[in-house]
Structure 1
Amino acid sequence: MTFTLSRLSLGAFLLAASFSASAALPAQPKLVVVLVVDGLPNEQVQRYREQFSAGGFNRLLRQGASYSNAHQAHGVTVTAVGHAAILTGAYPYQHGVIGNNWIDPATRKPVYCTEDTAYTYLGEDTKPADGTSPSKLKVGTLGDEMRYASGNRAKVIAVSGKDRGAILLAGKSGTAYMYMEKSGNFASSSYYMAAHPEWVQHYQQAKGQDRYYGKSWTPLLADSAYAQDADDALYAGIEGVGQRFRFTHYSETGSIDADYYTRLKTTPVLDELTLAFARAAIEGENLGRNSAGVADLLAVSLSAHDYINHAFGPESKMSHDHLQRLDRMLAGFFDYLDQRVGAGNVLVVLTADHGFPNTPEFAKAAHLDAGRIDGDKLAAVLDAHLTATHGVAKLVAATSLPNIHLDYALAAKAGLRRDELEHSAARFLLGQAGVAEVFTRTEFEAGLPATRLATLMQRAWNRQLSGDLMLVTKPYWHFSGGKSLTSHGSPYAYDTNVPLLLMGPQWIRPGSQASYAEVVDIAPTLAHLLRLRPPAASEGRVLTEALR
């Protein structure tokens, strides 16, 4: 009897404590805002922070929790993969988005990460490979959990300068709006709705994107502020180096057309337009004032920094100035949120989908081994080597670097074992300029050793979709498929280390965090604060050290 009474007493105590803890919980946010700055290495945030305004990045750094050692912790650091990780909390081997583009192993045809010919853009031209739905995303997102738990009363809106930036944040049940480079509009697709709501129609009719024609992008700060940036002479004569300051918004035809709207993408204007549309979405959908009393989600992916870093390099004056301008835009956006929704009602997260390496020219000037790898040439010399070695032509079936697909069926007909073909190809590739490592399908299926590099590449490899070989460049080398000065995609810190900033006075403890964190930690942390189950494939942890 004494034991029973003790258990009853303990139970009553725990029940009372539970009610007390529940009463002490802060109110849930009315609006969660997830900001993604495409192509922003954490290094740039730290390097330029003394020049930022008080209300933009510095507001996040001083009033929020900031992680200096946060990473996109997978080995293929490109836009689609990084965006898919943010609100799924999952790595590519589960979420299925293994690149911006990849090869369909069955058809050997190229695949774009958000293409879906079953749907079209609303009121806009649509090509077969345009991004129109999240059908390639194999798992759910935080927004999907919010919608499910609220009986679809929670509103989930994503806006981006890139279709993949919006679609992969919106998840399966949210709504995505993306910049249309032919018209300068933001539009959705028939996956989400049959027609745009009235507020979108009014926004498009205003044609705010046209007001920049003939105007110029000039440096925001005094010349002395850019003294440490790379000299333009470093890139003299290099193909792909575009117009720099003074950068005028124009078109070749001399009139406002698709050429003009496309050129806007490589300037701060794209981010201005994205944030302006985000404000229109807040008001049009009444975000943060949900009559059902549940939290809404607004995800905004700001794409211009990625375009600018590709075109000019992250060490350039253009990249530096854009980040200063974006900082002022964010300050204005935060002020707007304070006035519209209330500072105590909004939870803000800012991160990036990937970082960025310096241009090879800049790295070489610092006496580093650096360069570009031509993927088409690499595939051709590999195929020629395999033909000469094994007497079988076209053993390289398809290539979308870092993935290479081999023709196992053709090899088998010639009596060549799968592992023999992989080993032969890998050994040859390791002798090519700029190649650091080659992982094979056989190695992935057996399980790689628990090194940092192997772990990142294993997470990036999807058994059903990825290639039979996966290449890793040497540091400061990158695969080059176009005219951009530099590109990302590696497992090295300059590509993986991104900002991770959380702000919301009721939920987040301000301060700098030195502990290791990953972008996949965002979804479970937000799910915890919203009292939701985390997305099904989430592997991140709750960032308890940053919470009140």
Structure 2
Amino acid sequence: MTFPDASCRTLLCSLALALAALPAHAASVAPRTAQPKLVVVLVVDGLPQEQVTRYRDQFGQGGFRRLLEQGAWFSDAHQAHGITVTAIGHSAVLTGAYPYQHGVIGNNWIDPVTKQSVYCTEDGNFHYIGEETKPDDGTSPAKLRVSTLGDELRYSTGNQAKVVTVSGKDRGAILLAGKTGTAYMYMEKTGNFASSTYYMQQHPQWVQRYQAGKPQDRYYGKSWTPLLADAAYAHDARDDLVPAKPGLRNTFPFSYYSDSGNLDGDYYSRLKSGPFLDQLTLDFAQAAIDGEQLGRNAGGVPDILGVSLSAHDYVNHAYGPESKMSHDHLQRLDRMLAGFFLDLDKKVGMDNVLVVLTADHGFANVPEFSEARGIAAKRIDGAELVKKLNQHLAATFGADKLVMTQSLPNIYLDYELAAKQGVKRADLEDAAARFLLQQDGLAQVYTRTQMEAGAVATRMDLLMRRAWNRQLSGDLMVVTKPAWYFGKGVGGTSHGTPYTYDTNVPLMVYGPRWIKPGSYGQYAEVVDIAPTLAHLLRVRQPSASEGRVLMEVVK
């Protein structure tokens, strides 16, 4: 054996001492895992967490079960703001922000200047490409005040990264796409998926080819029937406890046709309330993967594909989350997702893909179903409520229409008129709040004075404070009692409250190279998605992000 001479021994000792001085892990640091080539963000519109757990045993192998068993699943994840509606929920996903910052305070709200109702994504400066555009159609993200993860990714890559989103609703696509992505939305007059002139002046060739194939027409005359055997639905609500809205059926089968007998807007609109809309959305997403070559950028620059699946929301609104229809729709969506993941595996490779699945909000049960279980529940006619409030305030202060307008749960007071009558703002607010709290079905009222003071004593206070935007929100925010909601008529249900049936949504993250699989009971929020993805993509967090990085699931 040959031993090193003195000079070599000195060098070796120096190297040994240097290594010893390093942190314990430094001598064996492995190269950083490559970034995902494609991040797929799936938002199932109107999916409560409890439906995932209730029907889990009936899922197939490749859809939800793949995410639940091979990915990380948070059972206590929430849309942690007090007004749980589609626009706010979608805004949270990739901004990591709450409404008080991102400025999307509802699907609609009252413009502070015109005092007229505005829609969250309407923008008269732009129109749909090749499609009819109404004044309140969603065409741009102008009202979203903050950046998204996609905006930050495109900025950090010199716009090499592609961000493409698709949804059955314009707000579902636009609010995921942010300022610099590209959104495509379902057109109920034609059944096409189209973008707007905010994003481009004409569709790329792949979109034109897709539209020319008219895939939406293949469902004409088809029916939606139960996927599983009758016994699988044994614990769902009886049909008589989920009364349908006027003009709608509440029992299978559901047929897709038009009254004219032609392929027209009547038929394309009907497609929304059933599984075929989601299949069309996923088909278009697959076409986008091919057309935009998503996940195949030079140098491994990541892309983002956002897919908002709208039909579950329509089904739950019509029949309730306890219905056989909602149950079956979720099972069908599970099988669709399995097919979508298989396609992803072929085109990009699932080992190169990071998947996130969540929802924009949950759902209340249909009031008739709740009452059959001994739970007080009703629909509250918002217009009638405000009419009574105005009458009360007129009798109290001697001035008509001290309530200017409403976009519930926001109510807007006329402070100027009150001042002319010598009525102090605080007195007007207090009188209105006291009256409202005496009405059936209302649990809490927050005033502008309270919100501006910023006091937070309860979880509900916190959620409602996050949902209140100083410039845009009402002077009163009203919260119903549990199981009650704003609506009228017969049939159906809704969402929008700070209660857990509306806030508790799925949060699943799949990506074997980056994510530790398992079931996690830690509290998490949907706003945690953006900072977690920013961490994995090594980009700056969105500008108003307040979520945390979910380090417990990161490898």
Shared fold by TM > 0.5?
yes
For the Cα contact (< 8 Å) 1:99–1:113, is it kept in 2?
Answer: yes
Correspondence for 1:77: 84
2:385 to 378, 396, 419: 378
The answer to whether structure 1 residue 423 and structure 2 residue 434 are counterparts is no
Provide the C-alpha distance between the structure 2 equivalents of 1:258 and 1:43, rounded to a whole number of angstroms: 34
The answer to whether structure 1 residue 192 and structure 2 residue 218 are counterparts is no
Provide the C-alpha distance between the structure 2 equivalents of 1:339 and 1:484, rounded to a whole number of angstroms: 43
1:54 to 45, 58, 61: 61
For the Cα contact (< 8 Å) 2:245–2:318, is it kept in 1?
Answer: no
1:366 to 373, 398, 402: 373
1:356 to 363, 369, 373: 363
Paired residues in the alignment total 540
For the Cα contact (< 8 Å) 1:241–1:485, is it kept in 2?
Answer: no
Correspondence for 1:538: 545
1:271 to 270, 274, 278: 278
Aligned partner of 2:191: which letter?
G
For the Cα contact (< 8 Å) 2:243–2:492, is it kept in 1?
Answer: no
The 5 A counterparts of 1:138-149 are: 138-149=145-156
Aligned partner of 1:227: which letter?
A
Correspondence for 2:409: 402
Aligned partner of 2:477: which letter?
M
Correspondence for 1:3: none
For the Cα contact (< 8 Å) 2:250–2:319, is it kept in 1?
Answer: no
**Unmatched segments (≥5 aa) in structure 2:** 1-13
For the Cα contact (< 8 Å) 2:140–2:198, is it kept in 1?
Answer: yes
Correspondence for 2:7: none
The answer to whether structure 1 residue 253 and structure 2 residue 260 are counterparts is yes
The Cα shift of 1:515 comes to: 0.3
For the Cα contact (< 8 Å) 2:379–2:488, is it kept in 1?
Answer: no
Correspondence for 2:101: 94
The answer to whether structure 1 residue 43 and structure 2 residue 40 are counterparts is no
Aligned partner of 2:87: which letter?
A
Correspondence for 1:124: 131
What secondary structure does 1:39 align onto? coil
The 5 A counterparts of 1:299-338 are: 299-338=306-345
Aligned partner of 2:346: which letter?
Q
For the Cα contact (< 8 Å) 1:429–1:438, is it kept in 2?
Answer: yes
For the Cα contact (< 8 Å) 1:242–1:311, is it kept in 2?
Answer: no
For the Cα contact (< 8 Å) 1:74–1:457, is it kept in 2?
Answer: yes
Provide the C-alpha distance between the structure 1 equivalents of 2:19 and 2:124, rounded to a whole number of angstroms: 58
Correspondence for 1:454: 461
TM-score by length of 1: 0.96
Per-residue CA deviations over 1:202-223 (Å, capped at 9, x if unaligned) read: 0000000001000100000000
Per-residue CA deviations over 1:174-230 (Å, capped at 9, x if unaligned) read: 000000000000000000001000000000000000010001000000000001111
The Cα shift of 1:251 comes to: 0.8
The Cα shift of 1:291 comes to: 1.9
Per-residue CA deviations over 1:20-50 (Å, capped at 9, x if unaligned) read: 64x4321110000000000000000000000
The answer to whether structure 1 residue 526 and structure 2 residue 533 are counterparts is yes
Provide the C-alpha distance between the structure 2 equivalents of 1:337 and 1:238, rounded to a whole number of angstroms: 38
Per-residue CA deviations over 1:121-179 (Å, capped at 9, x if unaligned) read: 00000001000000000000000000000000000000000000000000000000000
Correspondence for 1:479: 486
What secondary structure does 2:513 align onto? coil
TM-score by length of 2: 0.95
What secondary structure does 1:24 align onto? coil
Change (3 A) 1:57 1:540: same
Aligned partner of 2:194: which letter?
A
For the Cα contact (< 8 Å) 1:240–1:485, is it kept in 2?
Answer: no
What secondary structure does 1:34 align onto? strand
The answer to whether structure 1 residue 112 and structure 2 residue 112 are counterparts is no
2:231 to 216, 220, 224: 224
Change (3 A) 1:66 1:475: same
Provide the C-alpha distance between the structure 1 equivalents of 2:220 and 2:308, rounded to a whole number of angstroms: 24
Per-residue CA deviations over 1:74-104 (Å, capped at 9, x if unaligned) read: 0000000000000000000000000000111
For the Cα contact (< 8 Å) 1:153–1:292, is it kept in 2?
Answer: no
The Cα shift of 1:243 comes to: 4.9
Change (3 A) 1:309 1:238: closer
The 5 A counterparts of 1:286-305 are: 286-305=293-312
Provide the C-alpha distance between the structure 2 equivalents of 1:238 and 1:331, rounded to a whole number of angstroms: 32
For the Cα contact (< 8 Å) 1:403–1:466, is it kept in 2?
Answer: yes
